[in-house]
Amino acid sequence: MCGIVGYIGKQKASPILLEGLKRLEYRGYDSAGLTVHQNARLETVKKTGRVDHLVRAVDGQSLSGRLGISHTRWATHGSVTDANAHPHLSSDGRISIVHNGVIENHRNIKRFLVAQGYSFCSETDSEVLANLISYHYEKETARDQTRFVESVRKALKHIEGTFGIAVLCAECPDQLLGARRGSPLIVGIGDGEYLLASDVAAVISRTQNVVYLKDNEIVALCPDNFSISTINLEDVDPIVSRIDWSIDEVELGAHPHFMEKEIFEQPTALENSMRGRFAADGSTANFGGLNLSPQEWRQVDRLLFCACGTAWHACLVAEYLIERYARIPVEVEYASEFRYRNAPLEKNTLVFVISQSGETIDTLAALREAQRKGFRTLAITNVVGSTIAREADGGIYQHVGPEIGVASTKAFTSQILLSAMVALYLGRLRDMSYTDGVGLAEALKGVPALVDRILRENGHIQEIARRYSGYEDMLFLGRQSMFPIALEGALKLKEISYIHAEGYPAAEMKHGPIALISDRCPSVFLAPQTETFHKVLANIQEIKARNGKVIAVASESAPFPEGLADDRIVLPDAHEALHPILATIPVQLLSYYIAVERGLDVDKPRNLAKSVTVE
């Protein structure tokens, strides 16, 4: 969940490291630090708080070294203190390390190292690895360039858990080492320089050529070359990939926050997700990477979707869409629960996972568990070269560009759109008619324009947000495919405004939650024109009868009674399959503007990080 940046090359390392950390701050912002190799010493600076605190601490120091590592931390082991910030030095000052992940057996290793005379100054599991590498470095018999690599290799063989690391040695001024297991790490190949990073956003300003490390691989970077091998001493031929993002896509531009930028990028993002994915006859969708023939799809009796957080809500929408339009049973599981359950699955079940980053640790574990049991796996993900993208049997790239804001926006609506396209594809393989297929395909093609219409009403939504920004509780309610959007709306509000919010099926209000209703607990009703519209109106009446305030999100032509809601946000009339996407836009804007009105940093909400790569 934290951010790693390493550099070796011809330029001063510290400015490059600090720039990379700024781009990765969404991955962790409890503390930040760096180590630069300089004058045969490892010079380390680290501070609690945002990267700006580190920048001020580095200013005025003479850090001219051309080799360094750096880190932004999201605390797992140990509280937020300068001592617990990364990088961590071995007690002899020889080794500096930055680490993402969790070392599960760190206590046993620490006891061993203390007995060997090593000391510790932090509460972290990561410091254990720094001292363990130093221990093996001291014992290593080789005295050439391989000594450092072998000490890291031997140390990692003792590690239980996950890691993405970058390591420096005071006695090796021309080597930067990295390794991964379960936590992402990439190599950026620049002009006379190399970078290590946990995310491509850190390297995009210097290169678009990267190598994605696989689990249990170690990379050794020197000023003019690099090599990759496995922990078990097998040589690896690196595969160089090219990032298809531009530097502009990771810049704020004219927007005050990445979340706002990414909300307003959704028409373009959705267009990019669809591009080239409709059949020539206009009646179905086409996906080049699913790696299943129509005949194999016909053998699938059930789909299982797994994900976490916002992506799990997208899975719930997929369940409604696929069951309605393709008539295939769908189950949805939290990936974190599925990986530890012994759930019985029918033999013709296909497992679909959804993850924006492609690195979500629980989702990756669920995918691996499904594969271990012999099930075919597919993925929807946004990051080319990510671990989930590489390990799934097939999948669909979202192509929405980098999503920097911690609270997912454009990735979520893209996941819903692609799920609808999967429903169309599977429906046409089964019993959906040509005419119905053309109708749904045409509706999906019109999504970007409809989303743009809603975004043009942002001023009205901002005014509503102003009126509700002082409340501390809020309910989000909807029926059928609006229920997952109610969950997502509540999550968004919780994430960035710290207002307690809950999402429920509207009809479930009478089964307990209605006890919360008062003039201090507003309700957001998602009520597009569907067969349950009048049922939702009845639920709103129940809230109003108890002095609850209501914000209604309803279709423009729906017969919505005048004065029933305190505030109303209008959705364009559209095909029912589009309602989940269209209803998402107002709740994103509402949450965003409420958080801004409360003076909060929406891109860096407290206690959260963008990509969850630890359990």
Residues marked as catalytic: 2, 610
Beta strands in 278-434 (DSSP E): 302-307, 330-334, 349-355, 377-381, 394-397
Distances (CA, A) of 282 to 147, 288, 420, 437: 61, 16, 15, 8
- Residues 466-486 as b/e (b if ≥16 CB within 10 A, e otherwise) read eebbebeebbbbbbbbbbbbb
Q: What is the DSSP annotation of 365-386?
A: HHHHHHHHTT--EEEEES-TT-
Instruction: State the Cα–Cα distance between residues 107 and 88, nearest whole angstrom.
Output: 17
**Cβ-contact 396, 289 below 8 angstroms:** yes
Phi first, then psi, for residue 224 (nearest 5°) are -125, 10
The single-letter code of the amino acid at 377 is: T
- What type of residue is 59? D
197 touches 4 (CB < 8 A) = yes
> What is the full DSSP assignment across 95-109?
EEEEEES-BTTHHHH
Q: What is the DSSP letter of 2?
A: -
**CA–CA distance, 187 with 383 (Å, rounded to integer):** 15
Distance CA 545, CA 517 (A): 10
Q: Is 367 left (phi over 0), alpha (psi -120 to 50) or beta?
A: alpha
Name residue, tokens 């169309």.
424
Question: Which amino acid would we find at residue 257?
Answer: H
Q: How far apart are CA 234 and CA 217, in angstroms?
A: 9
Q: What whole-number distance in Å separates Cα of residue 181 and Cα of residue 305? A: 25
* Token pair 């970078």 in the structure block, residue: 195
Q: Which helix (H) or strand (E) holds 436?
A: helix 434-445
- Ranges of beta strands (E only) in 463-499 are 473-478
What does DSSP say about strands 349-355 and 330-334: parallel, antiparallel, or unpaired?
unpaired
Amino acid at 235: D
Kindly state the tokens that stand for 273: 């997700």
